[in-house]
């Protein structure tokens, strides 16, 4: 019977014959943890990293990141804590929304940096069929209430306000008749 004397030292009682010692190895497993970083100071402990929790050295770790509602992925990076050494950056490859890295020798942290999704509100003014001007109203997060005050033109009243998206789909039409 082979017994462990310490972490990497073993012993057995020798028989009265020649013996062969076989040492079977497996690749070490290292842990993968994740952290969320929000550029607007928001704190959210939800897990947006979708991947395994451990991997062997040299494994290709493939994962995805689901941004919380109202946020977009700004950056994903992986750092490795190798013993007493400082954190080392690991190359992350991003293809079509999937990320991957080669598992180093040591535990890693996948950091997901999220930024608020901000949309621009631009205005275009017409008097009848005649173009008057382009106006930039500002930037807002999805879900915000946007208040606009159209410019006043001599002898004109607002007939309607039409809201469209980049896709060109009418989202809202407000008539003042």
Q: What is the pLDDT of residues 110-143, one digit of tens each?
A: 888 888 887 776 676 666 666 666 666 667 666 6
**Spatial separation of the C-alpha atoms in residues 81 and 88, rounded to whole Å:** 7
**Spatial separation of the C-alpha atoms in residues 100 and 96, rounded to whole Å:** 11
Confidence of residue 172 (pLDDT cuts 50, 70, 90): low
- pLDDT recorded at residue 86: 56
Q: Mean pLDDT across the stretch 15-38?
A: 80
Select from 67, 163, 164, 166 the least CA-distant residue to 113. 67
CB atoms within 10 A of CB 36: 20
- pLDDT recorded at residue 175: 56
Residue 171 has pLDDT above 60, yes or no: no
Mean of the per-residue pLDDT values of the chain? 76
Of all residues in the chain, what percent carry a pLDDT higher than 90? 1
Name residues whose C-beta falls within 8 Å of residue 16's C-beta, 6 or more positions apart in sequence.
none
Q: Mean pLDDT across the stretch 45-69?
A: 81
pTM of the model: 0.58
Q: Mean pLDDT across the stretch 32-46?
A: 77
Q: Mean pLDDT across the stretch 74-89?
A: 74
- pLDDT recorded at residue 176: 55
């Amino acid at each position: 019977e082979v017994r462990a004397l310490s972490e990497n030292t073993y012993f057995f009682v020798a028989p009265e014959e020649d013996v062969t010692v076989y040492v079977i190895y497996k690749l070490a497993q290292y842990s993968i943890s994740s952290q969320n970083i929000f550029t607007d100071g928001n704190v959210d402990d939800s897990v947006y990293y979708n991947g395994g929790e451990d991997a062997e050295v040299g494994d290709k770790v493939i994962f995805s990141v689901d941004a919380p509602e109202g946020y977009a992925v700004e950056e994903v990076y992986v750092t490795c804590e190798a013993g007493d050494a400082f954190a080392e950056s690991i190359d992350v490859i991003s293809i079509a929304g999937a990320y991957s890295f080669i598992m180093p020798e040591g535990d890693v942290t996948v950091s997901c940096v999220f930024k608020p999704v901000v949309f621009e509100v631009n205005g275009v003014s017409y008097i009848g069929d005649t173009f008057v001007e382009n106006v930039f109203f500002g930037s807002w997060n999805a879900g915000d209430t946007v208040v606009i005050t159209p410019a006043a033109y001599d002898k004109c009243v607002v007939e309607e306000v039409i809201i469209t998206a980049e896709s060109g789909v009418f989202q809202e039409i407000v008539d003042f008749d």
